């Protein structure tokens, strides 16, 4: 995880608004109180009030994950699946309805180290490494915005094989949203933790990105673009070399973990180990130069406008990159939303895992109850 790579995911622009706001987080008597009440509206018009509440002392709200079971680190990974001829790594634990965890930029399935064991007590949990990241293959392909959506969609079809709840942090959140809009029959709920993605800029035509790529004079195509690419390769090559150094990774993590207690050798090693792959530098270049530039084609308002399942925003309000204002905008835009605010940074699931696990399990239980209430009941005659 590097400053350049994650900062590129920061939000910009504004979008349409719909739906209503809700209660906000408060601090009372030195205790951190989070209460969110939101009506979740089914397609049939049935409303269910869901409360996501949590009360913790300041020490436990920002403390390390003491006493939590942790996913054992395996240098060779856990399970592998072949997707389009590429080797994809994933973790699988537990039994029950499926929950799929999707990491952020530069991370891996191991970033869910404190969440997988706890969630697996009640659910079948999968954590997948996106193509190009973690223990998945560092494939030399064009990393368009659609590639991880297609990967996760096929993972749901071939491995999970039933509708699942998708949980994503940062880039994984964007991928989760995109997947939910493309294969709604395979997604029964979405959870975003400080998600990447941006709302559309009302001052820029929607078709502008595509037009800019296709247009251009011969001077631009044969001189300007090659020079631009050469410059990008030099700059991004230097950034990659710098960003994969353990000391640099630790520094960046501590800048986005408000409580750095969980920034340890396990976490740093899980990020730096994949960077040793011979193809890692080229993958980094392709990610930064291709995906980041065309992400604007798939804006949050466009994706949310197509989504139809319940949404939970599990948000680290102290994130220096993606603050609570973005969560508020998503909630205003998408009516079927519940929000839990945490006093944490960009990765609340790893910085404050006890609180994140509790909020997520509470929402999942409410989602299960909602699904059960929507099932047709048998009546005796």
* Confidence at residue 237, expressed as pLDDT on a 0 to 100 scale: 55
> Would you say domain 79-201+295-372 falls under CATH 3.40.50.1820?
yes
Query: For 94-107, what is each residue's pLDDT tens digit?
Result: 999 999 999 999 99
Task: Tell me the C-alpha distance between 112 and 127, whole Å.
Answer: 7
| Residue 46: C-alpha distances to residues 43, 57, 103 (Å) | 7, 36, 33
* Confidence at residue 212, expressed as pLDDT on a 0 to 100 scale: 46
Query: For 229-271, what is each residue's pLDDT tens digit?
Result: 655 655 555 565 456 688 888 998 999 999 999 999 999 999 9
Task: Tell me the C-alpha distance between 104 and 82, whole Å.
Answer: 21
Averaged pLDDT in 10-residue chunks for the chain of 381 residues = 37 35 33 32 29 32 66 97 98 98 96 98 98 96 91 98 98 96 98 94 60 55 62 58 77 94 96 90 80 72 96 97 95 97 97 97 96 69 41
Exposed e or buried b per residue across 285-305, where buried means at least 16 C-beta atoms within 10 angstroms of its C-beta: bbbbebbbebbbbbbbbbbbe
CA proximity to 186, closest of 227, 153, 222 = 153
Exposed e or buried b per residue across 97-123, where buried means at least 16 C-beta atoms within 10 angstroms of its C-beta: bbbbbbbbbbbbbbbbbbbbbbbbebb
Task: Tell me the C-alpha distance between 151 and 131, whole Å.
Answer: 8
Helix or strand or coil: residue 9? Answer: coil
* Confidence at residue 244, expressed as pLDDT on a 0 to 100 scale: 65
Domain borders along the chain are 79-201+295-372
Task: Tell me the C-alpha distance between 356 and 325, whole Å.
Answer: 19
* Confidence at residue 236, expressed as pLDDT on a 0 to 100 scale: 56
Q: Specify the residue for token string 């940074």.
A: 345
CA proximity to 132, closest of 285, 301, 264 = 285
């Amino acid at each position: 995880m590097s400053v350049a790579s994650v900062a590129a995911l920061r939000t910009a622009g504004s979008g349409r608004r719909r739906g209503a706001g809700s209660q906000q987080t408060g601090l009372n008597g030195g205790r951190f109180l989070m209460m969110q009440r939101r009506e979740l509206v089914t397609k049939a018009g049935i409303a269910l009030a869901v409360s996501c509440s949590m009360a913790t002392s300041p020490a436990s709200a920002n403390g390390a994950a003491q006493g939590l079971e942790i996913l054992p680190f395996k240098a060779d990974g856990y399970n592998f699946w072949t997707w389009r001829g590429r080797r994809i790594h994933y973790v699988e634990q537990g039994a029950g309805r499926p929950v799929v965890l999707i990491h952020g930029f530069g991370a891996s399935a191991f970033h869910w180290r404190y969440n997988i064991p706890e969630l697996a007590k009640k659910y079948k949990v999968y954590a997948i490494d996106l193509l190009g990241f973690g223990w998945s293959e560092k494939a030399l392909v064009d990393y368009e915005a659609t590639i991880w959506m297609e990967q996760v969609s096929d993972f749901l079809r071939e491995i999970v094989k039933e509708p699942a709840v998708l949980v994503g942090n940062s880039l994984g959140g964007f991928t989760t949203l995109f997947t939910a809009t493309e294969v709604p029959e395979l997604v029964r709920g979405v959870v975003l933790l400080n998600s990447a993605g941006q709302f559309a800029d009302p001052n820029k035509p929607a078709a502008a990105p595509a037009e800019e790529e296709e247009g251009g004079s011969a001077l631009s195509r044969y001189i300007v673009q090659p020079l631009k690419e050469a410059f990008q390769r030099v700059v991004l090559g230097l950034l990659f070399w710098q960003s994969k150094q353990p000391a640099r990774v630790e520094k960046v993590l501590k800048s986005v973990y408000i409580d750095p207690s969980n920034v340890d050798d396990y976490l740093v090693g899980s990020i730096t180990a994949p960077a040793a792959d011979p193809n890692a530098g080229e993958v980094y270049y392709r990610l930064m130069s291709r995906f980041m530039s065309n992400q604007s084609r798939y804006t949050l308002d466009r994706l949310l406008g197509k989504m139809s399942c319940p949404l939970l925003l599990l948000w680290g309000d102290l994130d220096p990159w993606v603050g609570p204002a973005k969560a508020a905008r998503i909630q205003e835009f998408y009516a079927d939303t519940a929000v839990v605010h945490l006093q944490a940074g960009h990765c609340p699931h790893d910085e404050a895992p006890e609180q994140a696990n509790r909020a997520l399990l509470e929402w999942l239980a409410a989602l299960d109850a909602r699904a059960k209430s929507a099932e047709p009941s048998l009546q005796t005659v």
